[in-house]
Structure 1
Amino acid sequence: MKIERLNQDKIRIFLTFDDLLERGIQKEDMWREIPKVHELFSEMMDQAYTELGFDANGPLAVEVFALPAQGMVVIVTRGKVGARPEERAMEEEENDEDVYELEVTMEQSDVVLYAFRDFEDVIAACKQLNTAGLSEDGRLYVYNNKYMLAFEPAGLELARYQALIALLAEYGEAASVTTAVLDEYGKVIIPSKAVTEICVHF
């Protein structure tokens, strides 16, 4: 579980599938109001307070993004409950004094996103993908001093999808951000056909 502060009232938590498995939670359970999910949320808020001093008292808006092959990203924002009535609210009591008033939004992301420490790793990964015939249309970003390759493998057959993930994992690591964050805070270097472009120029 990794927690980082986005601003004074917003944090991002990255849960790997192992984090969920250790707690006996399936990905689909995050959509349901069950005690295990409540316990996980309490644990996340405790850790956010310990690591970042993020006090989760009061109304909270919680967005959960499922990332294929990587895990889940949970965005917690203070003071936003009631902004969107169509979202379902759930309440959770950690103890008698603290009440979390939550508004939960679930989103499924089909984007495969991997981070690389330096450009040489990006080049090596792209050359391997190209050799394997996996030069799917991709985008290259820079964000937080790392290079990010993003792919939208919609309609890609399972074997090719798994091969894409396996090759990316050899050179990079699964990123815990969404493309919405990259579009807003990152910089697009190659907007499309990133693997092909890199192989042609490097």
Structure 2
Amino acid sequence: MKIERLSQDKIRIFLTFDDLLERGIQKEDMWREIPKVHELFSEMMDQAYSELGFDASGPLAVEVFALPAQGMVVIVTRGKMNSHEVERSSEDDDADDEIYEMEVTLEQSDVVMYSFRDFEDVISVCKQLQSSALTEDGRLYSYNGKYILALEPALIDSSRHNAVIALLAEYGEATSVTYAMLEEYGKVIMPEAAVREICNHFKF
């Protein structure tokens, strides 16, 4: 579980599928109101408080993004409490059970995204993807000092999907950035056929 602060009132939590399996939670469970998911959320909020000092009191907006092969991104935004809610929360401080007032939205992205620290790693993985005839597709972005390669699963043979993920994981790491955030804040370096273009421009 990886937690980072986006602003004073917003954090982003990246959960791998291993994080979920360790707690006996399936990806589909994140859409359900079950005790295990509530326990996971409480654990996330405790870790956010201990690591970042993020106090999850008051109303919270929770966005959950499912990413293929990487895991899930949870974005938590803390709302402002009015004076009545502040009074009520202080009265509830003695209660044993912590209750989070959550508004949850769920989205699922099929785009496979991996980030790379060095452009040499991008070149290496593209060479491997092309030479193994796995894909010549992809969009390349620059975001927060890293290169991010985004691939559409629809353009990858389903029988080779795991091989593509294995190669990407060998050179890069699964990113906790959502595709919507990448589209909005990232810089497009190659809008299409990134694997082929990189192989054409950088011959070994």
Asked if Structure 1 and Structure 2 have the same fold, meaning a TM-score greater than 0.5 normalized by the shorter chain, the answer is yes
2:189 corresponds to 1:189: yes
Q: How does 1:95-110 map to 2 (within 5 A)?
A: 96=96, 98-110=98-110
In the other structure, the counterpart of 2:26 is 26
In the other structure, the counterpart of 1:65 is 65
In the other structure, the counterpart of 1:91 is none
- Cα displacement (A) at 1:161: 1.3
In the other structure, the counterpart of 2:78 is 78
Point out where structure 2 has 5 or more consecutive residues left out of the alignment.
82-94
Are the counterparts in 2 of residues 140 and 147 from structure 1 also a CA contact under 8 Å?
yes
Q: Percent identity?
A: 79
- Cα displacement (A) at 1:80: 8.0
Q: How does 1:89-128 map to 2 (within 5 A)?
A: 96=96, 98-128=98-128
Please report the TM-score for the alignment, with normalisation by the length of structure 2: 0.88
Q: How does 1:171-182 map to 2 (within 5 A)?
A: 171-182=171-182
Indicate the structure (1 or 2) with the bigger Cα radius of gyration: 2
CA RMSD of aligned residues (A): 1.8
Q: Which of 152-161 and 110-119 deviates more?
A: 152-161
2:199 corresponds to 1:199: yes
Q: State the one-letter code of the partner of 1:100.
A: Y
Distance of 2:55 and 2:99 partners within structure 1: 12
Q: State the one-letter code of the partner of 2:182.
A: L
Distance of 1:122 and 1:74 partners within structure 2: 27
Question: Deviation above 4 Å: which 4+ runs of structure 1?
Answer: none
The count of aligned residue pairs is 190
Distance of 2:102 and 2:45 partners within structure 1: 12
Task: Please give the secondary structure, in 1, of the residue aligned with 2:150.
Answer: strand
For the structure 1 residues 199 and 106, does the alpha-carbon distance in structure 2 shift closer, same or farther, using more than 3 Å as the test?
same
In the other structure, the counterpart of 1:167 is 167
In the other structure, the counterpart of 1:146 is 146
Please report the TM-score for the alignment, with normalisation by the length of structure 1: 0.89
Task: Please give the secondary structure, in 1, of the residue aligned with 2:120.
Answer: helix
Task: Please give the secondary structure, in 2, of the residue aligned with 1:99.
Answer: coil
